[in-house]
Amino acid sequence: MTQPRFTVLLPVNRPPALLPFAVDSVLGQSLRDFELFIVCDGAPEETVEAAEKLASDDDRIRVFSFAKGERHGEAHRHTALLQANGRYVAQIGDDDIWFPEHLSELDHLLQTCDFGNLLQAEIMPDGAFTVYIGDLSDADTRRKMLESKWNFFGPSTVGYSLEAYRSLDVGWSPAPSDLWTDLFMWRKFLARTDLTFATRPTVQCIKPSAVLRQDMSLSERQNELAALVQRFADPAERQAFQTGCNEHLISHLRSESRRHADNAARHAQTATAQQGKIRQQQAEIDQLKQRHNALLASRSWKMTAPFRAIGKALQKLFARRPF
C-alpha cells in the first residue's frame, strides 16, 4: 500500500445525525490522497452501523469501534493512530465542515513545520461568526498556551506530522478534568524544543459552536448544518465568508499594529525624558567637579592642609584608646 498524504481522525460518540456532513466534507477534498479513520467512542450502535455503511462505499474509510473511554476517549485516537499510514495527521469533529481546500492548505503548511494550524472560525446560532487569531511561530504565543489556560484553535483546524506525533513520550490520552482535551494534547507538542511550529492564516473550516447550541436538539442541529452545507456548496458563498474572515484578521492586525506603535511611542517618550534628566544630572556633576577642583587649588585649602593632617592623626589615636 502506498503511503497516503494524510490520515484523518474523526472521533464520534453521539447518534449519527451529523456524521454524514463531516464525512462528505472530507470526501469532497481537492486533495484526495488520504485515509479516514472514524473513531467511535462508545457511540450508539446506529452510529457504528452508519459509519460502516460509509466505509463500504469508499475504501479510504476505516471504522474503529470502542467502548466508552475515559473523558472524550482520547486514548482511542492514539490506538487508531498506531495503525495510521499517512505522512500527516488531520482531524475533524463530527459536527464540523471542511471547505474543499482544507487538506491542500494543511499540506502546504506542514511542508514548513512539524505542527501547525489553520485559523478557526466559529459560526454563532444567529449566523454571526468570529475568527480566533494567533500564530504558533511566535514563541510568546506558544508560551502562553503552555503556561495558561488559553487556546486559539481546536482539532478541526490542526495538522501535524505522524513522525512528530510518534516521537512524543505520550500521545493522545485523557486530559485532566480541569483542562481542555485539545490544549492538553497541543502542549505535548509545544513543550518540545526540537519541533517546529507555524500557523497558516486561512479559514477552511466552519465550526458551529456546540457550546452555544446546548439548548438545540440534535434534529435542530442537523437542519442547521444541512443549511450551512447547502450555503457553502456555492464557491461564491465560501469566498464571501473567507473575505469576511480576512477582514476580521486585517482589522485585528491593524489594531495590534496601532497598539505596538503606541507602546513604542510611549517608550520613546520615556527614553527621551530619561536622557534629558541624565544630561541635566551630568551638567550638575560637571559644575560640582569644577567647584571642587577650584577649592582644591585655592590658597585657603593649601594653608589648612597641615591642620587636616593633624585632625586625621588625632582621629586614629582616639579610635585606638579604650574609654
**249 lies in some domain:** no
Domain check: are 224 and 283 in the same one? no
Domain check: are 22 and 113 in the same one? yes
User: Tell me, what's the pLDDT at 257?
Assistant: 66
Domain check: are 295 and 185 in the same one? no
**255 lies in some domain:** no
Distance (Å, rounded) from C-alpha 91 to C-alpha 200? 16
**85 lies in some domain:** yes
CATH of the domain at 177: 3.90.550.10
Amino acid identity of 98? W
Residue 274 neighbours by CB under 8 Å, 6+ apart: none
| Torsion 174-180-185-188 (CA) sign | negative
Cell of 282: 551630568
Distance (Å, rounded) from C-alpha 194 to C-alpha 293? 62
pLDDT string in tens for the chain (323-residue length) = 588 999 999 999 999 999 999 999 999 999 999 999 999 999 999 999 999 999 999 999 999 999 998 899 999 999 999 999 999 999 999 999 999 999 999 999 999 999 999 999 999 999 899 999 999 999 999 999 999 999 999 999 999 999 999 999 999 999 999 999 999 999 999 999 999 999 999 999 999 988 899 999 999 999 999 999 999 999 999 999 999 998 988 887 777 666 656 666 666 666 677 777 777 777 777 777 777 677 666 666 566 666 666 666 656 666 665 55
Domain check: are 206 and 283 in the same one? no
Amino acid identity of 208? P
Cell of 211: 457550546
User: Tell me, what's the pLDDT at 181?
Assistant: 96
User: Tell me, what's the pLDDT at 9?
Assistant: 99
pTM: 0.78
Distance (Å, rounded) from C-alpha 92 to C-alpha 102? 11
**Residue 100 domain boundaries:** 6-233
Domain check: are 229 and 284 in the same one? no
Domain check: are 186 and 290 in the same one? no
User: Tell me, what's the pLDDT at 282?
Assistant: 74
Beta bridge partners of 120: 132
